[in-house]
Structure 1
Amino acid sequence: MLSALAHGSSEQGAAIGAAVLPTIRELEEDRARFYGDLVLNSLNEAARRALEVIMKGYEYQSDFAKKYVALGRQEGERAILLRQLRARFGELPDAAVARLEGAETAALELWAERVLSAKTLAEVLDEPS
């Protein structure tokens, strides 16, 4: 960790960052987030890109990383659905936006399918009778 802070901007930055990652994964969630952020911020742009290449296709092992990847995907799905609904039905009522913002992934996926054929916002968000 100290090596990453001291030498992360050097030519060895990517190798140092890659060496720190396995150790960070073993830490508790809050501490892992803190140290991971410190390491990434200590690397120069080239080292950050190289580390991203190393990590590309990597399947995260820690519950910490899996949790935040899932949250990121869910936020992306939510943003896309909101954009689609606004394009199709115009400005949305505050209650509909609040409902979307609080929805779980399964509901977002269902609504994303419904928006393709729905004629009204209610057909997307309401349960069929």
Structure 2
Amino acid sequence: MEQSPLRLIKRCAEYVSIDDINSMRKGLRGIYVLYDNDDVVYVGMTTGGRGGIRARLKRHRAKKANLWTHCSVFEVWDNIRDEEIAELEGLFRHIYRHDSVANKLNAQRGFKLMRAVTDNDIANWATGDDDA
């Protein structure tokens, strides 16, 4: 069985030109990032349906090509569930929620489920043996 040093990410391609997305294979599952030069303008995901990451990037290129120049693609392993991909995307959206550049294309400015696990009183966090 193929192994990777990462548990979630199988492989990645960084700073791929908008002109090169047709060379990606169909059906890729994972996270992708759109950049305007060096600035993150969007973090997205796909679970592989409807053509996967390549198809999503083609739709972004058709509708919003003037807002991004490059992308990065992070393919997940086959055993990663769709809900796990959505959680990764949600985490990135949550991190970038106050960044006006990164939110240029994002309709969702945060990750609703993150509120359920937010506890800013870190001094009272358990030692790690509690069930979350």
TM-score range, shorter chain: under 0.3
**Highest CA radius of gyration, 1 or 2?**
1
Greater relative contact order: 1 or 2 (C-alpha under 8 angstroms, separation 6 or more)?
2
State TM-score, norm by structure 1.
0.26
When the two structures are superposed, what TM-score results if normalisation uses the length of structure 2? 0.26
Structure (1/2) with the larger helix percentage: 1
